[in-house]
Structure 1
Amino acid sequence: MFAASADNIVTGSKLLMELLGADSSARAEIAERMRAAEHAGDDATHAILHQLNASFITPFDREDIYRLASSLDDIMDFMEEAVDLVVLYQVEQLPKGVEQQVEVLSRAAELTAEAMPNLRTLAHLPEFWIEVNRLENQADQIHRKLLAHLFNGKYDAIEVLKLKQIVDVLEEAADAFEKVANTIETIAVKES
């Protein structure tokens, strides 16, 4: 179930990439597909929590299962929010550097999808959480550079507010990937 949730996040990250190359007329349709992916993520999370609540014995601690499911859901929520804001704010052009943010999220999504099947055996997971933490540090650097770029005086105040909210939400998605990695590390330590 976690693997299905993570695969859906990969779908979301691909939609983010697609948004970057789309003109404003195509963005509403991408946002609609992202909304559908976010709803699929909600359904996956609810299925995990339903199974958790129906199970007397769980493969690992209930709190960790809940935290992992919630964190995966948060990632999808943040990505969907970013796409929705681009459409709602009618942003014509995203600032240079957003593509780097999205590339980091895309790589973290792929790594997360690859790691989920390994929860059964807990094999090869240290490489996952180390790389996701490295990617989150990279995302922090990109975020700070984007903020500096936004505040350099080339944008009007309203545009800065719109763009800042979008890049902040993308940063929250990167933070949520780190939370997933940290939860998986906690599970691996407890189960070893």
Structure 2
Amino acid sequence: MRLRLTPREDSFYDMFADSANNLVIGARLLVELISDDADRPAIAEKMRACEHAGDEFTHAIMHRLNETFITPFDRGDIYRLAGMIDDVMDAMEEAADLVVLYQIEQFPKDVVQMVEVLERAAELTAEAMPRLRSMRELNEYWIEINRLENQADRVYRRLLAHLFSGEYEALTVMKLKEVIDRLEEAADAFEHVANTIETIAVKES
């Protein structure tokens, strides 16, 4: 670890932790959303509030970044990490919104597995954020996130094959595909977060 001789603004660590914990809330709302007896409009409203909270966390990080001369790690990496966490939340909220707008009541079973992957990725991301302070014990995190993203890719391909198997009407295919596309975007965004953290850790080691 590099020796630092100047004071720095460490509140970024807490702000990133708050932002990542918000992803856990969002992912668990998705789990609720696709359950058979879900009150989907109410859950989607909670998801919108969660997305709004995520925007507030992102804006707070950017505001602090503009006010801070000495940052705990590279300014560009702080900017990218905040934006990529926001991308995850945006994709999850869009998926929830589409479910309600399209009045989707039934989901292929693999959608459950895909959402469970997102929930696990959110939990791992939230667990990793406090370790940014020491930049230690992070390699298992980004390795596991990469594995989960690969799993999400496989599930996504199975879902596409299922959607285009002829079982569903064309309009239903279109609606479901838009939702699973957003879920796939969320999985990709989780990997982008992990890749950025890996870059930060390498620079700081």
Pair 1:157 & 2:160 matched: no
Match of 2:67 among 25, 36, 54: 54
In the TM superposition, residue 151 of structure 1 has moved relative to its aligned partner by: 0.3
Partners of 2:40 and 2:189 in 1: CA distance: 24
Structure 1, residues 81-115: CA drift from partner, whole Å, max 9, x if none? Answer: 00000000001111120000000000000000000
Structure 1, residues 32-75: CA drift from partner, whole Å, max 9, x if none? Answer: 00000000000000001111111111111111001100000010
| Partner of residue 14, structure 1 | 28
In the TM superposition, residue 21 of structure 1 has moved relative to its aligned partner by: 1.1
In the TM superposition, residue 23 of structure 1 has moved relative to its aligned partner by: 3.5
| Partner of residue 136, structure 2 | 123
| Partner of residue 148, structure 1 | 161
Task: Give the secondary-structure state (helix, strand or coil) at the position aligned to 1:10.
Answer: helix
Gap regions ≥5 residues in structure 1:
none
Q: Percent identity?
A: 70
Higher helix residue share? 1
| Partner of residue 187, structure 2 | 174
| Partner of residue 199, structure 2 | 186
| Partner of residue 46, structure 2 | 33
Partners of 2:40 and 2:111 in 1: CA distance: 16
Tell me the TM-score normalised to structure 2 length.
0.92
Tell me the TM-score normalised to structure 1 length.
0.98
Q: Where has structure 1 moved over 4 Å in runs of 4 or more? A: none
Partners of 1:131 and 1:52 in 2: CA distance: 29
Task: Give the secondary-structure state (helix, strand or coil) at the position aligned to 1:97.
Answer: helix
Partners of 1:171 and 1:5 in 2: CA distance: 20
Amino acid aligned to 1:20: I
Structure 1, residues 6-31: CA drift from partner, whole Å, max 9, x if none? Answer: 0000000110001111436x100000
Amino acid aligned to 1:123: R
In the TM superposition, residue 158 of structure 1 has moved relative to its aligned partner by: 0.6
Amino acid aligned to 1:7: N
Partners of 1:63 and 1:51 in 2: CA distance: 13
Count of residue pairs brought into register by the alignment:
191
Pair 1:73 & 2:86 matched: yes
| Partner of residue 102, structure 1 | 115
Partners of 2:131 and 2:159 in 1: CA distance: 35
Task: Give the secondary-structure state (helix, strand or coil) at the position aligned to 1:90.
Answer: coil
Partners of 1:148 and 1:177 in 2: CA distance: 24
* CA radius of gyration, larger in: 2
Partners of 1:91 and 1:20 in 2: CA distance: 9
